[in-house]
Structure 1
């Protein structure tokens, strides 16, 4: 086993840290994501210490100036990260001390890395959730833009992936708009729950210094400061919240992706996705693969796995902080980065979709999709619904036996043999356009209702 020549800790430790353990232990790749937020938290902490008289104004000014320089170095990519210092906090403190001397050593007064890292992660996650919310709004607007010109474009609606009833492509796209509106709410709720400042909780029990956690919380944009120091440093519920929201979002994107992949197949041929979001084959010249949709579908599994990791990580940890919690960072950052990217690129793909309305209309006329309309016709004529259902099932069976393409192809007299209440006005009911138009209620597939839904959603994400 190799040994490090430098120990980060104190004279309490007689042996240097194992290099293998140091490599296993360090988390700089993750910490670099929160580095600027760590600096921001340190600036506010120093201001709070100065307000409390724990730092004098000269020391605070030096710390503020040094932290500003460190932030500039991080943005420029010139900050020198030292692996032996283990994490962002010690790297910043070491650089600050090199810049401003002993004042830098005082920054950690009344603070632990436990509340420090919890603060930085929350600030990072809050900013990422805000960015994700913006991307979700863009995605929702893309669905609305795609739905609007197709409010009356007929397509088959499916249950069990079998033709069920006619709907419109616009209505179908607005179903996804509603899904992502719920996701927008999930992101907002996750943000609200994480927006509590843990700064001042210190290691686990608070501090004996006269600190002002409420001031720090306000300066950092949190809604309030922690109520319980033990919970403040050990809470990672917000990580699970974010991973759960991300898993649902990716589930919705995966459902969409599955349909896009299906609709692009030559046997269905409902749509064509723009070249920008497809790839070819190294051997088959004709291939045009909707790889973006496939990759989004694949990444859904990854994000769902992050939720399992985050939830199981916390299930057996005693209060308060444990090193296990370092492992909450990868599922959090991976979820935020992959979900945001998947949402953004899907929003870019949607406007490139070309709809083949003729293929959709032809498919909507298959599978006797207006059978329910015929049953409803019989109900309005006075037949109980269950009896109407059985009569229409018999008519469909006869149509199948005769290999008729639609119910409209069956002669009136033959239909009357199953249901005498059928009259010659039935054929107006059996058209797919008539079926769609008849669902003229809020949430229905009638073009008028689809356009109303579009207007409402546009207003919500304006």
Structure 2
């Protein structure tokens, strides 16, 4: 080594004060807030496995178990203040074990494991909890939307395209479209959970271990479905993170569009949604105003959620395919903020959807003024009068222009322009009278005849709502099964660990 080698002159002591304050302390505080219970479970599951495989004898394992239990009693993680004496929370527990057992026995707990596999297991355990809470809130929203769609199955609304009145539909049919998107979003979450639900423990630093460890046993004790097979993947593949936050990002892009429609529909000029007083704030200076402010909060919180999820994905982008800090503590903690704002949106949207009502008078007036049933007049001319659709469309367009110019409505003011336009185009009178004309251009008729698969008529809507309810029940059943599996694993881990404690 050269006499000029800087290592010879380096008298510094870890940690540098700035590094301590900017990195180590925030990481320690995050771990004690978010991951203490997961640390505890991993230590206990690993200890049980080491004992069952004979890597540790029962005397050694019992001493470690007793010390771990004593540490749990003696140390309140929330009250801990980071001093820099140890690098992180993991080393704090190891230090406490050494103080109680000595270095020889205490150090045996870390046999055949690394902070690499521990960390990713911690993060997966944390993500599973957050995903399960968000899926529960999503199921509540799904139930609320199905209930409201069922209640409003025949309630007329104006459906818009390009911001303009397009055709009549029903509120139930509109919500059903959003329900289908939510179901697909929840399926993406369920798939993400399957990716998260594979245990990295036993991968150690990269390549597993020469000790006869049982990775499947640890996975089972921790409530994972199975161990993730490839050990390099355990510490390098961050797709459990990207799949989770991609699912969040997509869900809240999609919910944001629904929320934006509600904002538009509650505007004074449209007014087809009535928002109850419980969800309305008044102006401090304009007493006539009813401001549906919760919609704005849902909109910006959905955008914040999407942005936070996107940020996690951006952090992972273009990182090396190896164990690296970019995917670890600080990124995980930042991601939890996306879950927090997501939960607020889901709760508020579920309550809001159940509370709002359609204003039938405003809907009727908007339908009348916009001539949006005119499509069915054209369709009926094809079916009844055997005209080509293009010919029928031109007749209907002429009628609509005349009615709109007059400021009237199709049913009241459209028959005379229709007679004239029809005779001009077909060279004869139509085969039906005013009464039939009024029926053909009514919104109720418009809905009734659209009874194809996926349409707004009663029969396809009833079928659709049944299918949505079946899917909601399937989500609930899956959640019950997963919760039962987690509870069973927790009980077994506790029983096995306590058995070790009692052998002291």
Q: Same fold by TM-score, threshold 0.5 exceeded?
A: yes
Quick one: distance in 2 between partners of 1:339 and 1:304? 9
Provide structure 1 residue ranges, at least 5 long, that are not aligned to the other structure: 1-11
Give the superposition deviation at 1:141. Answer: 0.9
Q: After superposition, where does 1:365-380 map in structure 2 within 5 Å? A: 365-380=368-383
Q: After superposition, where does 1:52-131 map in structure 2 within 5 Å? A: 52-68=53-69, 80-82=80-82, 84=84, 85-98=86-99, 101-102=102-103, 103-131=105-133
Quick one: distance in 2 between partners of 1:272 and 1:402? 29
Q: After superposition, where does 1:25-64 map in structure 2 within 5 Å? A: 25-26=23-24, 27-31=27-31, 32-64=33-65
| Alpha carbons of structure 1 residues 70 and 363: separation in structure 2 relative to 1, 3 Å | farther
Quick one: distance in 2 between partners of 1:100 and 1:379? 90
Does the CA contact (< 8 Å) of 1:443 and 1:453 recur in 2? Answer: yes
Does the CA contact (< 8 Å) of 1:239 and 1:332 recur in 2? Answer: no
What is the TM-score of this pair, normalised by structure 2? 0.82
Quick one: distance in 2 between partners of 1:348 and 1:183? 20
Q: Which has the higher helix share?
A: 2
Does the CA contact (< 8 Å) of 1:204 and 1:320 recur in 2? Answer: no
Does the CA contact (< 8 Å) of 1:48 and 1:215 recur in 2? Answer: yes
Picking from 17, 29, 41, the partner of 2:15 is 17
SS of structure 2 residue aligned to 1:107: helix
- What is the CA deviation profile of residues 228-248 of structure 1, one whole-angstrom value per residue up to 9, with x for unaligned ones? 222211221111111111112
Does the CA contact (< 8 Å) of 2:371 and 2:400 recur in 1? Answer: yes
Does the CA contact (< 8 Å) of 2:63 and 2:101 recur in 1? Answer: yes
Q: After superposition, where does 1:102-181 map in structure 2 within 5 Å? A: 102=103, 103-181=105-183
Larger radius of gyration: 2
Quick one: distance in 2 between partners of 1:73 and 1:357? 65
Quick one: distance in 1 between partners of 2:82 and 2:167? 63
Quick one: distance in 2 between partners of 1:286 and 1:308? 40
Does the CA contact (< 8 Å) of 2:116 and 2:205 recur in 1? Answer: yes
What is the TM-score of this pair, normalised by structure 1? 0.88
| Alpha carbons of structure 1 residues 77 and 276: separation in structure 2 relative to 1, 3 Å | farther
Show the counterpart of 2:419: 413
| Alpha carbons of structure 1 residues 89 and 363: separation in structure 2 relative to 1, 3 Å | farther
Q: What is the alpha-carbon root mean square deviation over aligned residues?
A: 2.6
Show the counterpart of 1:454: 465
- What is the CA deviation profile of residues 381-406 of structure 1, one whole-angstrom value per residue up to 9, with x for unaligned ones? 32222332233223322333333332
| Alpha carbons of structure 1 residues 64 and 443: separation in structure 2 relative to 1, 3 Å | farther
Picking from 386, 392, 397, the partner of 2:401 is 397
Show the counterpart of 2:448: 437
| Alpha carbons of structure 1 residues 338 and 166: separation in structure 2 relative to 1, 3 Å | same
Give the superposition deviation at 1:139. Answer: 0.7
Quick one: distance in 2 between partners of 1:180 and 1:196? 25
SS of structure 2 residue aligned to 1:366: helix
Q: Return 255-264 or 43-52, whichever deviates more.
A: 255-264
Does the CA contact (< 8 Å) of 1:395 and 1:418 recur in 2? Answer: no
Q: Which has the higher contact order (CA 8 A, sep 6+)?
A: 2
| Alpha carbons of structure 1 residues 371 and 97: separation in structure 2 relative to 1, 3 Å | farther
- What is the CA deviation profile of residues 231-289 of structure 1, one whole-angstrom value per residue up to 9, with x for unaligned ones? 21122111111111111221222122212222333333323334444444444444443
Quick one: distance in 2 between partners of 1:236 and 1:119? 12
Show the counterpart of 2:476: none
Quick one: distance in 2 between partners of 1:140 and 1:414? 50
Does the CA contact (< 8 Å) of 1:155 and 1:363 recur in 2? Answer: no
Q: Return 152-161 or 58-67, whichever deviates more.
A: 58-67
Does the CA contact (< 8 Å) of 2:305 and 2:339 recur in 1? Answer: no
Give the superposition deviation at 1:181. Answer: 1.1
Does the CA contact (< 8 Å) of 2:302 and 2:341 recur in 1? Answer: no
Give the superposition deviation at 1:194. Answer: 1.8
- What is the CA deviation profile of residues 264-322 of structure 1, one whole-angstrom value per residue up to 9, with x for unaligned ones? 33333323334444444444444443332212211222233234323332333223212
Show the counterpart of 2:187: 185
- What is the CA deviation profile of residues 97-139 of structure 1, one whole-angstrom value per residue up to 9, with x for unaligned ones? 4555544433222211111010011111112212222211111
Picking from 380, 384, 390, the partner of 1:386 is 390
Quick one: distance in 1 between partners of 2:144 and 2:171? 14
Show the counterpart of 1:362: 365
Quick one: distance in 1 between partners of 2:337 and 2:162? 33
Does the CA contact (< 8 Å) of 1:243 and 1:303 recur in 2? Answer: no
Q: Return 337-346 or 13-22, whichever deviates more.
A: 13-22
Give the superposition deviation at 1:408. Answer: 5.0
Give the superposition deviation at 1:167. Answer: 0.4
Give the superposition deviation at 1:42. Answer: 1.6
Q: Return 25-34 or 93-102, whichever deviates more.
A: 93-102
